[in-house]
Structure 1
Amino acid sequence: MSTTGIPVNTPLLDGNERKYLLECIESGWISSEGPFVRRFEESFAERVDRHHGVAVCNGTAALDAAVEALGIGAGDEVILPAFTIISCIAQIVRAGATPVLVDSDPVTWNMDVREVEARITPRTRAIMVVHIYGLPVDMDPLLKIAARHGLAVIEDAAQMHGQTYKGRPCGSFGDLSTFSFYPNKHVTTGEGGMVLANDDKLADDCRSLRNLCFQPHKRFVHERLGWNLRMTNLQAALGLAQLERLDEFLVRKRRMGARYDAALSTLPAIQLPLVETSYARNAYWVYGIVLGEERDMDAEEAMRQLAARGIGTRPFFCPMHWQPVLQRKGLFESESYPVAERLYTRGFYIPSGLGLAKAEQDRVCEAVTEVLA
């Protein structure tokens, strides 16, 4: 157990990671041309029940490529949740399109699907679904809305490794779906991401966009602007070793969530993660706490007090309509999304990485109880 403090995340890297990384070093294949990249793409796509996986350098890059591959640009609108990370909105804005927000469901913390259809206009091109913190969005009604209006679906499953919706893998629903492999994810490559698709052309577009849109026969003649979004062989080797243990990691995460539930459920005036819905069991990517309005303590103060006890925390997402960079662009003037606002000001999450030891989790529970009892 740490004597200095418990970080909000510690990855678990005690499988084949060392073996595969040494194989990269000994073979000399460390760039994106190495064989682990294709192996990781194929294995992850198979796990998510997709035809194509396109590995990229991070989850934000995956979203950027997805928006660009769908040809979203000036005059278009994209519906997405107000409560999400800014990565989701960045390429929409850069492309000249207009982001249109919906509020969160107060129980699941996901986008409120009931609000989506009212936000559709003749300019709407796509819906970006973002599964939040461990529970998926209710996909069936959302997919029906998208089909009825002829809209593309971008499915951000960055936090949903191994999670399912009604038995189907999260990441298998969008026209394009994206994942992140940041160190706090169930599968990590250090930094990394992936775009997944069934459509051959969309997948080829994403492959081209990640590689500067080089052409097969005229490599340095460019018809389109892309990026260098490539994943290295070293990253992919790490990811493949992690993917081999995903089922084990899911069991570990759910056990961790159950331990937190048992220890913290009697604390007054707090909301803990929903254990399950009719369509999914929580995968506990992180373990969040939302403070009740009757408490005179907000999330910032609770995190400060936990930090003083050596417990790492992380705030919930700041809503998109409160982001200064977006407000300066004239977006979301006079708009309010009260559930997203409450989640941000009252919500935070506590240590829940795969490397968290039981003794450390007990120490976290003791500290949270001291602060919130």
Structure 2
Amino acid sequence: MAVPPARVVFSESDRSTVAAAVTEILSTGELTLGPRTERFEAGFAAAHEASHAVAVASGTAALEIALRCVGVAGREVVVPANTFYATAAAAVHAGAKPVLADIEASTFALTAESVEAVLSPDTAAVVLVHIGGLITPAVDELRQLCDARGIALIEDAAHAHGCSYLGRPAGSFGLAGAFSFYPTKVVTSGEGGMILTESAELRDEARILRDQGKGAFGTNHHVRHGASWRLSEVNAAVGEVHLRRLKEFVELRRSVAERYTAALAPLPGLDPLVEPPGGRSNFYKYVVLLPRGTDRDGFKREVRERFDVRLAGEVYELPLHRQPVFADLVHGPLPVAEDVCARHVCLPVHSDMTDDEVDQVIAAVSTVHSELAG
């Protein structure tokens, strides 16, 4: 039995519901910015206790729109070195210069100290990324630092559907939170993204930007340099159905993570990222640091070829400044990001994962680690 690194989960009943919704949408001809988009926005906002939600075409669009709303053009945006291309690309497309900051190893997240080290008079925003669904305990200190300097804190919450820290949901710590609905995410709409915010002004600006900068839908009156960042009604219908499963998906993923953590505890040198006190993760990723000097490619090959377990989707295998397109990014020393990017793996976590699959992963990782360590 092969265990893939990720799996998209739609039950038979959910597929039927989506199919019926698509039929209705096609029959009405209301294909974009209609009632299903509004319901999806309302449902996602309610699930994260947010006042406002704006559905858009992708998580990248959500982040770019949020950055445009806070006015980063011609200035600098601080991002972690160990994030996905889209985090820095959104800043570039919004007209800003990304500046890389280092992280700390227990949450793969920025710290107030690492951010402060790269701030300048040109800093307009800091993007905090909730890697793998973990919200760092440093989030309040980061917000305080940003507030004191007049800098916008934006959350890249692409991984963080249903996550919280001290009872506060992802998307509630900064001026806005940007979520992704890419197919592998805990909740997917096929493609899509969402902006959550408490600011009615930011909500209104985001709605303008997502629809070619129009002052109102259905007009040809353009007041901003926006783009085609709308979410289709078909995507909204898929997301609306999947969102109903968020709580059960998170509970199952947490049970898988609990088993992994218990199984890895006796294995010296394997260090999983665990929830900080007060944190509640969706375990979009279950991240494990391998011992220094371990051949990561060899480790992954062994568990794949001998146990049929696929490990993929690192977060991330290359820090941004080692991506060819970002070779010129501004940064200082990045020792933690360099280290953790080079030696972590992500164990499979699915929203419908079986006990047998979990057993297979545990056996694979335990056996290969023991052999390499011995």
Superposition map of 1:15-164 within 5 A: 16-28=14-26, 29=28, 31-74=31-74, 76-137=75-136, 138-164=138-164
Q: Which moved more, 1:216-225 or 1:313-322?
A: 216-225
Q: Which residue matches 1:316?
A: 315
> For the residues of structure 1 that align with 2:24 and 2:87, how far apart are their CA atoms?
38
* Number of equivalent positions: 363
The SS at the match of 2:106 is: coil
Shift of 1:221: 4.5
> Deviations for 1:301-350, whole angstroms, at most 9, x for unmatched residues?
222222323222123312122221111xx3237x4311111111101212
The SS at the match of 2:73 is: coil
Q: Which residue matches 2:230?
A: 230
CA contact (8 A) 1:182 1:192 kept: yes
> For the residues of structure 2 that align with 1:67 and 1:286, how far apart are their CA atoms?
26
Q: Which residue matches 2:290?
A: 291
Q: Which residue matches 1:266?
A: 266
> For the residues of structure 1 that align with 2:294 and 2:173, how far apart are their CA atoms?
39
Q: Which moved more, 1:162-171 or 1:216-225?
A: 216-225
Shift of 1:101: 1.9
TM-score of the superposition, structure 1-length normalised? Answer: 0.91
> For the residues of structure 2 that align with 1:112 and 1:135, how far apart are their CA atoms?
14
Shift of 1:178: 0.7
Shift of 1:235: 1.7
Q: Which residue matches 1:257?
A: 257
Match for 2:23: what amino acid? I
> For the residues of structure 2 that align with 1:57 and 1:262, how far apart are their CA atoms?
39
CA contact (8 A) 2:180 2:192 kept: yes
Pick from 339, 343, 349 the counterpart of residue 342 of structure 1.
339
> For the residues of structure 2 that align with 1:142 and 1:109, how far apart are their CA atoms?
15
> Deviations for 1:218-269, whole angstroms, at most 9, x for unmatched residues?
8335343222111122221222222222221221111000111122222231
> Mind listing any 5+ residue stretches in structure 1 that lack a counterpart?
none
Q: Which moved more, 1:188-197 or 1:107-116?
A: 107-116
Shift of 1:27: 4.4
> For the residues of structure 1 that align with 2:130 and 2:54, how far apart are their CA atoms?
20
Match for 1:348: what amino acid? V
CA contact (8 A) 2:109 2:128 kept: no
> For the residues of structure 1 that align with 2:237 and 2:195, how far apart are their CA atoms?
18
CA contact (8 A) 2:25 2:234 kept: no
Superposed CA RMSD: 2.0
> For the residues of structure 1 that align with 2:364 and 2:261, how far apart are their CA atoms?
15
Match for 2:122: what amino acid? R
> Mind listing any 5+ residue stretches in structure 2 that lack a counterpart?
none
> Deviations for 1:50-107, whole angstroms, at most 9, x for unmatched residues?
2211111211111111112222111x11122111111111022234422222211111
Shift of 1:352: 0.6
CA contact (8 A) 2:125 2:153 kept: yes
> Deviations for 1:27-59, whole angstroms, at most 9, x for unmatched residues?
425622332111010111122222211111211
Task: Give % identity.
Answer: 36
CA contact (8 A) 1:9 1:355 kept: no
Q: Which residue matches 2:175?
A: 175
Q: Which residue matches 2:197?
A: 197
> For the residues of structure 2 that align with 1:151 and 1:122, how far apart are their CA atoms?
10
> For the residues of structure 1 that align with 2:269 and 2:188, how far apart are their CA atoms?
34
Does the alignment pair 1:351 with 2:360?
A: no
